[in-house]
Amino acid sequence: MNNLIEIGKKYPSNKNRFGFIQIYEKYFNDIRNDKINILEIGIDKGDSLRIWRDYFPNAKICGVDIVKKDFKIDGVDFFFGDQSDEIFLKTIIDKFNSFDIIIDDGSHISKHIISSFNYLYPYLNNNGLYIVEDLQTSYIPRYGGSRLKLNKFNTSMNFLKRLTDCINYEQNDRPFYEKNKFDGMIKYVHFYQNIVFVKKEASKKYYHPNKKQKSFINSIKKLFSKVFY
C-alpha cells in the first residue's frame, strides 16, 4: 500500500510543492484505516481530495468551495458556498454531524479562517485535527494581514497563536488570564512553515476555581494588570 508521499506524486496538488504532504504523513499514518469524516475547505482542481480518497479507504470526504465546480470525484461530497457563512456551514454539519479532520485551504483571508474555526471547531471530534494551510497570507494586507504590524490582533496567525494560551497560562495567579472559549479543548498547536495543526483533546486544567476569580482582591489585581502590564 502506497504511503501518502507516493500517492501525492500522482496528483499535482500544491501540497507537494509546499512540502505539506511530508508533514501530513506524520499525523495521518496512524489513522489511515479508521472510519473517519474529513472536511477540506478549498477544492481548486480537486487534487488534494483525490489524495485523501486514495489514502483513507474508509473515510467519508467532503469538499467545500465558494466556486461551483464542473467535475465530480467518486467518493467525495461537494458543497458550494462561503466558508464564513454559518448558515451554509450548518448544512454540512446537518449531513456529517462531526469531523475527525478539518483542513482549511480556502480563501486564506484572516477573517474567514477565524470565522470558520470558531464555528467548526466544536464539531471536530475528540482527538481530531484542525489544519490551516498557507499561513503566509497572514502577513499580506489584501488577506487582512500586515507585513509591519506582526502583532495585529485580527490576523489568522495571531488568532492561532493565542490558542496556545488555552493550554499555557498562569498556573498560580490566574486573575490576569482572560478565559478563552477553547480552554480545556486543545491538546497542542503545532506550527510548521505556513501550516498549523491543532489537536482537539481535553487538556489538564490548572486554573483556580471561579469563586476566587470573582473576589474583590482579584478584581483589583485584574484592573491593575490591564493598566500596568
Mean model confidence pLDDT for the chain: 89
Q: What angle do CA 108, 110, 113 make, to 5 degrees?
A: 70
Mean pLDDT (whole number) for 37-52:
97
pLDDT (0 to 100) of residue 210: 52
pLDDT at site 205 = 63
* 188: helix, strand or coil: strand
Domain assignments of the chain as residue spans, ordered by start: 4-228
Query: At the topology level of CATH, where does 4-228 sit?
Result: Rossmann fold (3.40.50)
Instruction: Grade residue 177 by pLDDT with cuts at 50, 70 and 90.
Output: low
pTM for the structure as a whole? 0.88
Other Cβ atoms less than 10 A from the Cβ of 125: the count is 15
DSSP β-bridge partners for residue 189: 198
Mean pLDDT of 122-150: 94
Contacts of 170 (CB under 8 A, 6+ apart): 176, 177
Enzyme catalytic residues: 108
Rounded distance between C-alpha atoms, residue 196 and residue 62, angstroms: 20
Residue 77 CB-density burial (10 A; 0-12 exposed, 13-18 middle, 19+ buried): middle
Window from 2-6, 109-113, 174-178 with minimum mean pLDDT: 174-178
